[in-house]
């Protein structure tokens, strides 16, 4: 369950960074 929560957090962070920097999308891929 911890991994699921971490994965969700990574996606949320990735989406938060996407509007600021396109690299946020790369973070989402790494999180997955």
What does each of the 32 residues of the chain score in pLDDT, given as a tens digit?
566 676 777 777 777 766 666 555 666 666 66
Q: Is the full-model pTM beyond 0.75?
A: no
With tokens 């396109």, the residue in question is 22
- Do 8 and 29 contact (CB within 8 A), yes or no? no
Taking CA atoms, 25 is separated from 2, 7, 12, 13, 18, in Å, by 22, 14, 11, 10, 6
Q: Spell out the domain ranges in the chain.
A: 2-31
Distance CA 1, CA 25 (A): 24
Taking CA atoms, 14 is separated from 2, 11, 25, in Å, by 18, 5, 6
């Amino acid at each position: 369950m911890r991994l699921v929560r971490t994965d969700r957090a990574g996606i949320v962070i990735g989406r938060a960074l996407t509007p600021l920097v396109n690299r946020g999308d790369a973070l989402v891929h790494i999180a997955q």
